[in-house]
Amino acid sequence: MKIIVCIKQVPDTSEVRINPETNTLIRDGVPSIINPFDLHAVEAALSIKDALNAEVTVLTMGPPQAEVSLKEVIAMGADAAVLLTDRAFAGSDTWATAYTLAAAIKFLGADIVLCGKQAIDGDTAQVGPAIAEFMDIPHISYVSKIESISGDSITVRRLMDEGYDIVEAPLPVLLTVVKELNQPRMASLKGKMRAKKLEIRRLTYKDLSLDENNLGLKGSPTRVKNIFAPEMKKDRIVIGGTPEEQTDELISILKAIKCI
């Protein structure tokens, strides 16, 4: 069985702040990390590998510096790593990103494709399902538990807004996973040694059968018109006094909006 895990290198958004005067992000010293949801996808792939003897390949599309993230996943136990990198991919939105990744996955071959639910920089959750569409395979979003898996089908829990669904799909299939699914493992010492030595395979535009008009900026329907700072809440009121007085104030707020 062949499994491909798609990961994205992202800025750690918890450390990103905005400069209110210039409306730009202050990125000084903000580290790049593997998108946290993707680590759960990696763990899912590795546990399937442990159970079913699968081969796990980690794939990312990005600039050469994304190799660091691929090596981290090798250190966790993935078998191979592929970096999809080319100037022709520059400016890709989710549509062009999914189109390109799908071509690479078809080229490499996979029975199961795993993605994190969404990336924490864009929060779109669009690339996973769109890859499945381009590959013409089914997908299941928000997987919170793998109920059973065999050589030709999989049954999972899909986390929904009011509970969960049990969903069955034949392989090949693409899954996007939520954090509840598992606890990502740490890199092993042996893995780290392997990651150090391992040559990362690079794929470019030339290696894949791609329509140039669908790549990068050219293939991307969406444009970022502008970015700006979110509005902050105004009229902040601090409720002081004894706990008794604070409670009374809380209750009068609740009454004012007819909660009680």
Partner 1 sequence: MQIKVDRELCTGCQTCITSCPYDAIAMSEDDKATINEYCQLCRACMSACPEGAIKEYNDSPVQIKQGDLSAYNGVLVFAEQRDGHIANVAFELLSAGRRLADTLGNVSLSAALFGTDEAAASELIKWGADTVYLCDDGALTRFNDEPYAELLSKIITEHKPEIVLAGATAVGRSFFPRVAARLHAGLTADCTSLEIEEGTRNLLAIRPAFGGNIMATIMCPDTRPQMATVRPKVMKTGSYDVDRKGEIIKIERPAKASRTKVVDVVKDDSLFNISLQDAEVIVSGGRGLGGAKGFEMLKELAALLSGTLGASRAAVDEGWIQYGHQVGQTGKTVCPKIYIACGISGAVQHMVGMQSSDIIVAINKNPEAPIFNIANYGIVGDLYEVIPLAIKKIKEDRGGRGI
Residues 241-260, interacting with partner 1 (CB under 8 A): 243-244, 246-251, 253-254, 257, 259-260
Q: Looking at beta carbons only, is 56 or 119 nearer to partner 1? A: 119
Q: Looking at beta carbons only, is 5 or 177 nearer to partner 1? A: 177
Contact 92, 216 (CB under 8 A): yes
Q: Applying CB under 8 A, which of residues 57, 69, 92, 182 lies at the interface with partner 1?
A: 92
Q: Looking at beta carbons only, is 188 or 247 nearer to partner 1? A: 247
Give dist(CA 74, CA 196) in Å, integer.
9
| 237 is a contact residue toward partner 1 (CB under 8 A) | yes
Q: Applying CB under 8 A, which of residues 50, 51, 87, 196 lies at the interface with partner 1?
A: 87
Write down how long the chain is. Answer: 260
Give dist(CA 173, CA 140) in Å, integer.
8
Q: Looking at beta carbons only, is 47 or 124 nearer to partner 1? A: 124
Of 45, 39, 36, 41, give the one whose Cα is nearest residue 10: 36
Contact 88, 212 (CB under 8 A): yes
Q: Looking at beta carbons only, is 62 or 184 nearer to partner 1? A: 62
| 17 is a contact residue toward partner 1 (CB under 8 A) | yes
DSSP strands (E only) in 20-129: 24-26, 32-34, 55-61, 80-84, 112-116
What x-and-dash track marks residues 131-150 binding partner 1 by CB under 8 A? -xxx--xxxxxx-x------
| 130 is a contact residue toward partner 1 (CB under 8 A) | yes
Give dist(CA 3, CA 57) in Å, integer.
6
Q: Applying CB under 8 A, which of residues 122, 185, 194, 198 lies at the interface with partner 1?
A: 122
Give dist(CA 80, CA 201) in Å, integer.
8
Q: Applying CB under 8 A, which of residues 60, 69, 85, 182 lies at the interface with partner 1?
A: 85
Phi-psi region of 154 (alpha: psi -120 to 50; beta: other; left: phi over 0): beta
Q: Looking at beta carbons only, is 23 or 188 nearer to partner 1? A: 23
| 99 is a contact residue toward partner 1 (CB under 8 A) | yes
| 62 is a contact residue toward partner 1 (CB under 8 A) | yes
Burial class (CB in 10 A: 0-12, 13-18, 19+), 236: exposed
Give dist(CA 242, CA 193) in Å, integer.
60
Q: Looking at beta carbons only, is 57 or 141 nearer to partner 1? A: 141
| 47 is a contact residue toward partner 1 (CB under 8 A) | no
Of 152, 191, 154, give the one whose Cα is nearest residue 58: 191
| 216 is a contact residue toward partner 1 (CB under 8 A) | yes
Residues 144-183 that bind partner 1 (CB under 8 A): 144, 155, 159-170, 173, 178-180
Q: Applying CB under 8 A, which of residues 79, 106, 124, 207 lies at the interface with partner 1?
A: 124
Q: How many residues bind partner 1 (CB under 8 A)?
A: 107
